[in-house]
Amino acid sequence: MASILLTLRRLVGRLNPDQMAANRVVDDEEVNWLHPPKDLLDPNAWDQYWTDQLSHGLGPPLFDMFCNERPLIAAMSRHEMKRILCAGNGISMEPRALSAAGFDVVALDISARALEMARTFPPSDSHLMTFFDVGHLRPGGHVHYVVGDILDPTKSPGPFDVIIERRTAQNYLEPERARVLAALAARLSPQGIRFTHCHDARWKPPAKARHLTGEWCHAQGWSIWNGTGTKPDGRVAWLFTSTG
């Protein structure tokens, strides 16, 4: 993003190299709001982060662009699963979409500001239909919003049939990432599905996109399953990777 801003300034303002160097620091400051807080355990910092996203026009539709619940809904229905935890939910409409499909959903996030937006944002029909098809709509679903830290075992302790974690644990460095992933694992039922989504923004072909949380699941001996065929016995990890 910073490089794009710098290129635009060069084209429009015809800056010389010295001016461009001087403005590079300004460009970096202009896009600081795009990055997660340095202190990932600071609720106030996360409130400010989400306020900044919204004030710059980045709302739930953008953050939900990779959410396709169709395979997960089908797998949960086959295995008669009901309870879902959306961990590190942010401003996503995913809990509301899954509740519309008849599931009991808990949205957990450290930011009260984010969950308030997730609860009150008016999604369009076209936005909701990115999650599922009309035929997936079912009565009886509910959403419960919980403000709290994933690392706090008293917050939404479970057990849950499915835990969805999208682009949250990857923000942490080791060993904190391992602590977050272990804290989520403790909330999962013995036959549950752990759906973990990592985004590899630096990916370029022909390299293989990295899935940081998937690497942890492999190291812990989790069975990896993508929702097709028969689910392996016990808890499984469903890995989803996005790039771009």
> pLDDT per residue over 107-121, tens digit each?
999 999 999 999 999
| Percent of the chain predicted with pLDDT > 90 | 81
User: pLDDT value at position 14?
Assistant: 38
Encode pLDDT of 7-61 as tens digits: 323 333 333 444 434 444 334 457 889 899 999 999 999 999 999 999 999 999 9
Burial class (CB in 10 A: 0-12, 13-18, 19+), 7: exposed
Percent of the chain past pLDDT 70, that is, above it, reads 88
Task: Identify the pLDDT of residue 38.
Answer: 93
Q: How far is it, in rounded angstroms, from Cα 117 to Cα 60? A: 9
SS percent in the chain: helix, strand, coil, step 5: 40, 20, 40
**Residue 32: per-residue pLDDT:** 85
Residue 171 has pLDDT above 80, yes or no: yes
Mean pLDDT over the full length of the chain: 88
Distance CA 150, CA 66 (A): 22
Question: Can you tell me the distance from the alpha carbon of 209 to that of 66, in angstroms, rounded to the nearest whole number?
Answer: 16
Give the pLDDT band of residue 123 (cuts 50, 70, 90). Answer: confident
This prediction has a pTM of 0.86
- Per CATH, which fold does 60-243 belong to? Rossmann fold (3.40.50)
Query: What sign does the dihedral 223-89-125-97 (CA atoms) show?
Result: positive
- Cα–Cα distance measured from residue 92 to residue 88, given in angstroms and rounded to the nearest whole number: 9
pLDDT tens-digit map of 56-101: 999 999 999 999 999 999 999 999 999 999 999 999 999 999 999 9
Mean pLDDT of 129-157: 96
- Tell me what pLDDT residue 118 has: 96
Pairwise CA distance, residues 198 & 241, whole Å: 5
pLDDT at position 125: 85
Return the domain boundaries, the chain: 2-55, 60-243
